[in-house]
Amino acid sequence: MKKTLCLIMAILLLIPVALSGCQNAENTDEQEQILVYLPSSSYLGEVIRKYNRYLVDNNYENRYKINVKLFDDVKENTSITKMVTEIMAGAGPDIIALETDIPFEKLMQQSIFADINEIIENDTSEEKLDLSVYNSAIMDSCVVDGKRLMIPLAFSLNVMSAPSDLCSEYNIPTDAKLSYSNAPEVLNDFLEKAKDSEDMTVFTDFKAQLLNLIDDYVDFGENKVYFDTPQFQSDFKQLCKLNIVNNSDNSKKNNSRGRYRDPYSFFSHFYGSSSSLFQPVFDSFFGFDVFSGSDSHELINGINKSESDIKATVKYAMAVNANSNKKQEVLEFIKYALSQHIQTDWMDGYMPVNNQSFGMKLYYSTLENNRFFGNDTDSSKSAEFIKKFLTLVDGVNVCNIPNSYYHNNIIGDIVDDFISGKISEQKFLNQLNSKTSIFVNE
């Protein structure tokens, strides 16, 4: 009897010990490599694949190669929890991509990310990274307390375009400087007309505008929320006046085939149907044709808190894990991702931070416009449009790092519910204030 019990207990103790050796051990080659976790549809993943091929072609050592571990689509939250746990345990991936659904807005305040300036200073290679050749307004948006915590790769600009004929028809000045407080007044004629029309609306994406307003009143750096200030209350009410879709039958609007549908006929698949006055350009500029069809368009600075704000948003960026012992190897990838070739060809429709690449993309974009719309293109108009665009890019004075975790996980539900009319304005504002205050301060 005793022997049997002894045996059972021995087995009980041995099983966990024995099984602990059965974990999926990475081979030595993979352990040497730089590690990154990415969502399956990651854009950075494409750049990494190209980089890995480049390493093989140029006989780089294995330690420079990047081992990409894709998040499980079905269990993405579980994968993120695993990654977070690894980081907490003092390990984790070497590169943390902005595309990962973790609260970057909060993490920037902690020492989770390494100071990239320090990594650059410690670089002993011949080709040191010179950050002065990149867009400083965008690059410096990731500097917190003198530490460069992320490297942005591309950005977008909060600008909108509107058909020229609509601007003149509704007395909208082409050099309008819009803010939340003056927008309903500037767009008054259009709003009056749009109220009675099924085919007209101000924005293609009101949610983006609302999130833009919310971001303007949260200071993650100072842990402050300003939703209970009279200015926010007033700006919120003003912005809601522009959401004229909300005031009538949504289904009718969405199915409408009105006069202003698909003003950008060639690239309409980028934007979907549009019966709106403003087409946001901030998601993509270089895929955007300026003068499709016979209509010409005006470029107008987006609606911001202040009329003088010109706002940009970082699109692709990466941080280096402070726990990483492969920081110099990661720096090689950063150099590659910021190189002129990659910045010109691999930043999708977004604007590259590399100034030379930016110039080249702008040049190609102008050529494309002329090629596709040759006879109809008014070259002086085109030049004027591009010039205005460049003025706006040079004048960027606010650059945000996307608060996607905050937008999606903290306030996503209530914003959707408010826009679809499921919850009242008061309830929305209460919940917005409560959730954001907790998120920012805890």
Partner 1 sequence: MRMSVSAKNKLWGYLFILPSAVGIFIFYIIPFVMSLYYSLVTYGKFSGLNNYFELLGNSYFLLALKNTVVFTAIAIPLLLVTSFAIALFLNSFEKIASFFQSTLLIPMLIPTASVLFVWQIFLDEKGIINNILNALNLSQINFYDSGFSMVVIILIFVWKNCGFCVILFTAGLSNMPKSVIESAKLEGASSFKVVTKIIVPMMSPTTFFVFLMAIINSFKIFREIFLLFGDYPNENVYFLQNFINNNFYNLNYSQLSAASVILTIIIVAVLLVTFRIERKSNYLE
Q: What is the DSSP letter of 27?
A: P
User: Which tokens sit at 193?
Assistant: 């007309």
Residue with Cβ nearer partner 1 (77 or 370): 77
Q: Is 211 in the site for partner 1 (CB under 8 A)?
A: no
Under 8 Å between Cβ of 230 and 238: no
Shortest reach from residue 73's CB to partner 1, in Å: 20
Residue with Cβ nearer partner 1 (128 or 427): 427
Q: Is 438 in the site for partner 1 (CB under 8 A)?
A: yes
Shortest reach from residue 22's CB to partner 1, in Å: 17
Residue numbers 107-126 binding partner 1 by CB under 8 A = 107, 110-112
Shortest reach from residue 397's CB to partner 1, in Å: 29
Shortest reach from residue 424's CB to partner 1, in Å: 9
| Nearest CA among 397, 391, 316, 388 for reference residue 352 | 316
Task: Identify any residues that bridge with 155 across adjacent strands, giving them in sequence order.
Answer: 314, 351
Under 8 Å between Cβ of 344 and 154: no
Residue with Cβ nearer partner 1 (13 or 367): 13
Query: How many angstroms separate the CA atoms of 374 and 367, rounded?
Result: 10
List 1, 12, 22, 56, residue binding partner 1 (CB under 8 A): 12
Residue with Cβ nearer partner 1 (109 or 355): 109
Contacts of 221 (CB under 8 A, 6+ apart): 108, 109, 144
Residue numbers 66-105 binding partner 1 by CB under 8 A = 84, 87-88, 102-103
The count of chain residues that interact with partner 1, using the rule CB under 8 A, is 30
Query: How many angstroms separate the CA atoms of 125 and 249, rounded?
Result: 63
List 50, 63, 106, 241, residue binding partner 1 (CB under 8 A): 106
Amino acid at 69: K
| Nearest CA among 396, 373, 315, 319 for reference residue 348 | 315
Residue with Cβ nearer partner 1 (17 or 25): 17
Write the binding mask 332 to 371 for partner 1: x where contact by CB under 8 A, - elsewhere. Answer: ----------------------------------------
The single residue listed with the structure tokens 């202003």 is 260
Shortest reach from residue 196's CB to partner 1, in Å: 31
| Chain centre distance of CA 439 | 20
Q: Is 7 in the site for partner 1 (CB under 8 A)?
A: no
Shortest reach from residue 119's CB to partner 1, in Å: 17
Instruction: Kindly tell me the burial class for residue 70, based on how many C-beta atoms sit within 10 Å of its own C-beta (0-12, 13-18, 19 or more).
Output: middle
Question: Could you tell me the maximum CA-CA distance found in the chain, to the nearest angstrom?
Answer: 99
Amino acid at 43: Y
Q: Is 379 in the site for partner 1 (CB under 8 A)?
A: no
Shortest reach from residue 221's CB to partner 1, in Å: 15
Q: Is 13 in the site for partner 1 (CB under 8 A)?
A: yes
User: Which tokens sit at 406?
Assistant: 């905050």
Shortest reach from residue 84's CB to partner 1, in Å: 6
| Nearest CA among 215, 231, 276, 220 for reference residue 415 | 215
Q: Is 18 in the site for partner 1 (CB under 8 A)?
A: no
| Nearest CA among 36, 26, 32, 35 for reference residue 60 | 32
Shortest reach from residue 225's CB to partner 1, in Å: 12
Residues found near partner 1 in the complex (CB under 8 A) = 2, 5-6, 9, 12-13, 84, 87-88, 102-103, 106-107, 110-112, 409-410, 413, 423, 427, 430-431, 434-435, 437-439, 441-442
